[in-house]
Amino acid sequence: MEIIISILAGILFATAIYNLLQKQILRIIIGTVLLSHGAHLFILTMGGLKDRKPPILIDGIHEIEKYVDPLPQALILTSIVISFGITSLLLVLTYRTINENKTDDMAQLRGEENE
């Protein structure tokens, strides 16, 4: 299953990058969203996906190998929150950029040398 999820995450990366390489800002931002999903799945997979107990201690079960690796989950949680912050900022930034520059086409947002 780890291999399948890795492939899924890889596909998320691929589609994300394909969207990043587009010109319209909306597609690019969707790309970044997919990218973080891909990354989070990779982190999750790296902890192993075996059928174990959730990382909540249950009285009586003390064996370490009975629980899922909790560290990747903690890392993902941190990462999700940060991604959310960036995505929100990016959205507002995009909104303002489109309004100011009157286009949502990155190809027209190149700029010149002296301005």
- Between residue 53 and residue 112, which ones bind another protein under the rule CB under 8 A? 53-58, 64, 67-98, 100-101, 103-104, 106-107, 109-112
DSSP string over 7-44 = HHHHHHHHHHHHHHTSSBHHHHHHHHHHHHHHHHHHHH
Binders of another protein: how many residues, by CB under 8 A?
A: 104
Taking the complex as a whole, the smallest distance from the CB of residue 44 to another protein amounts, in Å, to 6
Q: What is the dihedral of CA 78, 39, 41, 31, to 10 degrees?
A: 110
Taking the complex as a whole, the smallest distance from the CB of residue 77 to another protein amounts, in Å, to 6
Residues 2-61 that bind another protein (CB under 8 A): 2-58
